[in-house]
Structure 1
């Protein structure tokens, strides 16, 4: 009988444990200082496959806190003892208190199988609150907020940061300018976009919000890394006010052990190649260009590039680095070219090798060793180069040497040097004849027009001097700049990627247009535009000047951003020069 009772008790225990729900909220502690962050752990565990979670977790009223971070993890496994399916959801919340004293945190709700489950409320005690002065000189409802979604990354792995501005008055959003990204030794920051988003009228706390900038952060050391706040200025009619966003802490994971000896700090997914950029035959003691090309996505802008290994067969000079990268989905994406000058020291087979290169792929969580890249070259001596030339090439070389060394004052014979493998082009001759005929026709048309103008000048009486205003208008028309010439030149510079010359030409265009209206400084020109062209044109000129400065000093320039900037320049200066 006693055995039967024990057996029945075991059956009831297994039935009870077979299907049950555990739902709880646990803080890391109950007493906090004002500077400390409250970490809440919400655990929802469902034992049994018959349970269906119908709603997401519904948080209590957290208006007395700032939610500075959140994340959740879902786990599912089979319990071997009870042979039941266990589904577990763990959610973490990081809260920043707004007030001190005893604060109550309510219940978290969830609906499972048409039944509402809730956690027990509890109290936390906040000792002191650190008051933050955010744009206190401007408006108490204008502040910046930096958001980083992925705060758990590897060392040298990219994470995206979004800068938002919040205000109860939408008019204050357009006054935020001069955004300065954070700078710190243990992080590398690269901008992604400074294009403002559409204004969201229903942001956090019933305030309007707008995205001001998106940038990438690469922490270069493990541990807890604090990203400093982003600063900006709020321009008012009286003065400029300085505001700073919040700081964000990152949990930077140390890279796994077992890295190859050749691993430096490359994190991402990369490929390395080496090629000979010189088209001529490789000759001993003559320089050639060898390019080491690194492509991929990751911390390509900040990592240590593979170098060409030293060898007694050749001499190496410091490379010229060319970068062509842009923002990708998991880091900076593009290519970096290291152009080396190599001088072979011996004739015959020469193997130019790079240093061994390895990188860590955070997607696969493994190291990839690419080893060495080798470029095989066959170097020739000077005598071998001469022997390999054809008879015509030798005759051309002897002729060029003669014309270079013998030069009379009557006839400059160096202009008759024979080029290698040159031939007579009939197309060039016909093109030159057509150009000469066209110039002759233009000359005849010019002479005819000049004669007609002389006859008109003789018949038309002289005009009166006119008033001072008319004279000023006439002088301005004479000094009027043809901005269309600048537009075509800027288009060519944009297509060629010569951004330095592009911004120099934009400054020349602005100076020419200001001189046309007798304005020496940009501030005086804005006042002039507001008086004679309207406040809208003056405001557009002010905004365009700021965009030009942002793009000019941006470390990474995108083709789309330059194209949008050129369209804005053409639109504005066309209106000003009407």
Structure 2
């Protein structure tokens, strides 16, 4: 069999070389065509922009694609070459398929694709794409031999009617009855209007068998998150997309396929994109009647305990109060409690630490507040119970928990001028004038004026300058503590520079995906900090509108989001970028950050 295959391959090579030789004498005519498949696609469905270049099997450069960001999301691309012999004439062609997901309903025109080949610049004709929610078939893969019923993903929620800030467990479950060799999550739902907690998962999730409409499927949970709705009303859990590599077998089209790997005995790997359907959740407002004044906004369970590091202390010495809040729910959004400290205590802002456990899709843990207290007057001091209230969704009732009161013995002398301590009066030391010299003073004129000396003005103005600087620094510190948007804006450049340094560190690696992922993190994090929005809930359209409202030039905004779009495409494109290309893109992203920074200043 091996000898027969070798002889057949030699035979066909001789035939191809004999037929193809006349083509070398006459240059083939180059043509390029573009098409979308399917031409009518459901919302969140996948479509393919296919570019076919006939007359050659390679292009001089990567084709230039039209702008499609308004109605589609880029997924990935693949290419193939083919050769046909008809009536003794051999033609070759190059086909490039670009896969997209439709994200906006309507009729759209896909502009011309520009292709450079054989020293010529070729353009395709525009094509039309229609995105409609009325298209039958739902959200499924493209026509690649794998149907929408063969592989799909479902967003499973544990409940669809919840209270505000009540946790919702969402499990994205993959169902398949075809051979899936690998998969990757590439379009994670932004889920605007939710606080998102990612549940750590396994690299190889366990699979099980289930029946769906009487058909057996292999299924596994590929992602789990816990969502906390941030406000009442109808909320939508947005779709999530998965790209799966599916092994398919195709029917052989010619004798060449059977000899060279295209027959049914071999098959091929086909990238298939599947998207979950959106899920609507009804969010109820928290009841107002019975809401205690110590309510923290948490829905779940709480337990509070407090302690001091010592029971007796001298005045003007520091003592540490540790407040531990343990419970289940959205602990990250928990605000610091209001504590009624004694009036003669100086209290510093707490240092907050937290330990969150998200295993088994239950968000629980502890949040610790450490206060530094300095008593200014002696006596027995009592720190009253610290109360925190929460809402129990199962019973639909408010509940409270409180710590035990703390006793602190303060010894020593009171600190003069301290809050709560008595201020000392003015003591009269003398009632008459004490003469130092009775005789006439011996005065004389000095040469020159004291105010003409530069040193006089330096000494005179230095305290004023120091006072103004101290006031400005204090105001800056107070604003950092009380104004989250100001604090995030101030540290945005420093955090972005640190992330860009990570991107520069991986620039020399062979796989460009890690480099573009780090640059995208820097771009998104910088803009989220500047606009004071959560990075998990970052939406490009809202951010672009906000930049325009704040007076950032349109050119700078477009360049910034162009860099974000290129990062998104490069992360899922084949890893082939050179170090020079990555270095140039790195400088381009840094310049885009600088332009936006100057526009926001």
TM-score w.r.t. structure 2 length? 0.39
Tell me the TM-score normalized by structure 1.
Answer: 0.40
Bigger relative contact order (CA 8 A; separation at least 6): 2
